[in-house]
């Protein structure tokens, strides 16, 4: 059996990405163990998911800390006490300080609901919908000091169609999030991610061979 990667998952809300990671572990597709889930929100539904799966929880309410640094110091101590090797942001709605990133260099991942570098920040799906793009999607990336600017590991593309609403687009994107996040973590667990500057090379990966995508489909061109 492959060695299990120790994860610390940061959540703020529903935790459907956390659930996808749990499901991938429980079905032996992801060689990892969740050592701790940290929520800054005491009422996050993600915590209920943890209780159902006997996953240890730490609620660290940011409102009770004087500064971002003090909040991150607390998270660093919980993560290191639990032997976390990879920090996974799964709908965590706080910006991390350099302090935490220095404690876990190239060992913090995030998922964003848009094709970065387009539409960073809050409500990536809504930004894309309002802009009128013909494709959107989601991105898993390593976290750096910027907002959604770190090296990109994997992206999934979904079409934005005339009959889509903001909600239907959000659902299409979320479905892909649940596929690419466990995959990205598994690449890490297998030691297949090589980062060189902004670029992430994935050893022995099966790269897309289709030359291009069009939405709408081309009519004879
Ligand atoms: C997901 O769509 C995730 O991409 C997004 O929040 C949602 C969390 O859902 N994250 C961000 O927008 C981060 N900037 P979940 O709690 O059900 O996993």
Predicted confidence band of residue 121 (pLDDT cuts 50, 70, 90): very high
Q: Helix, strand, coil: what percent of the chain each, to 5?
A: 35, 25, 45
pLDDT higher than 70, residue 116: yes
Strand pairing report for 5-11 and 193-196: unpaired
100 vs 77: CA distance, rounded Å = 10
Confirm or reject: Cβ of 15 under 6 Å from ligand 1.
yes
Kindly report, residue by residue over 131-160, the tens digit of the pLDDT: 999 999 999 999 999 999 999 999 999 999
Kindly report, residue by residue over 30-70, the tens digit of the pLDDT: 999 999 999 999 999 999 999 999 999 999 999 999 999 99
Kindly report, residue by residue over 76-90, the tens digit of the pLDDT: 999 999 999 999 999
Kindly report, residue by residue over 151-186, the tens digit of the pLDDT: 999 999 999 999 999 999 999 999 999 999 999 999
Confidence at residue 3, expressed as pLDDT on a 0 to 100 scale: 86
- Average pLDDT of the chain, as a whole number: 97
Ligand 1 center to residue 110 CA distance, Å?
Answer: 9
Confidence at residue 98, expressed as pLDDT on a 0 to 100 scale: 97
Confirm or reject: Cβ of 90 under 6 Å from ligand 1.
yes
Of 22, 13, 2, 54, which Cα lies nearest the Cα of 181?
22
Confirm or reject: Cβ of 176 under 6 Å from ligand 1.
no
Residue 156 in contact with residue 208, Cβ under 8 Å?
A: no
Q: Is 53 noted as a catalytic residue in this protein?
A: no
Ligand 1 center to residue 15 CA distance, Å?
Answer: 8
Ligand 1 center to residue 28 CA distance, Å?
Answer: 24
The first and second tokens of residue 192, run together, are 């297949």
DSSP codes joined into one string, 86-145:
EEEESS--SPPPHHHHHHSTT-EEEEESS-TTSS-SS-HHHHHHHHT-SEEEEEEEE--S
Confidence at residue 22, expressed as pLDDT on a 0 to 100 scale: 98
Helix H or strand E segment including 57: strand 57-59
Confidence at residue 1, expressed as pLDDT on a 0 to 100 scale: 54
pLDDT higher than 60, residue 109: yes
pLDDT higher than 70, residue 187: yes
Phi-psi region at 155: left, alpha or beta (left = phi > 0; alpha = psi -120 to 50): beta
What residue ranges define each of the domains in the chain, with the CATH number in brackets?
1-105 (3.40.50.170), 111-208 (3.40.50.170)
């Amino acid at each position: 059996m492959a060695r299990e990667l120790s994860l610390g998952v940061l959540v703020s809300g529903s935790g459907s990405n956390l659930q996808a990671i749990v499901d991938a572990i429980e079905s032996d597709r992801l060689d990892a163990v969740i050592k701790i889930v940290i929520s800054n929100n005491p009422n996050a539904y993600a915590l209920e998911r943890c209780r159902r799966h006997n996953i240890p929880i730490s609620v660290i309410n940011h409102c009770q800390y004087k500064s971002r640094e003090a909040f991150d110091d607390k998270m660093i101590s919980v993560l290191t006490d639990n032997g976390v090797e990879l920090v996974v942001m799964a709908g965590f709605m706080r910006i991390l300080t350099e302090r935490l990133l220095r404690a876990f260099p190239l060992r913090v991942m995030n998922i964003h609901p848009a094709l970065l570098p387009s539409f960073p920040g809050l409500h990536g799906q809504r930004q894309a919908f309002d802009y009128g793009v013909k494709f959107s999607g989601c991105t898993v990336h390593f976290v750096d000091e910027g907002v959604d600017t770190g090296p990109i590991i994997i992206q999934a593309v979904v079409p934005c169609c005339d009959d889509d609403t903001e909600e239907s687009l959000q659902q299409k994107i979320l479905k892909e999030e649940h596929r690419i996040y466990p995959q990205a973590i598994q690449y890490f667990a297998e030691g297949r991610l090589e980062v060189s500057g902004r670029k992430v090379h994935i050893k022995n990966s099966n790269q897309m061979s289709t030359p291009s995508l069009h939405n709408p489909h081309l009519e004879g061109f």
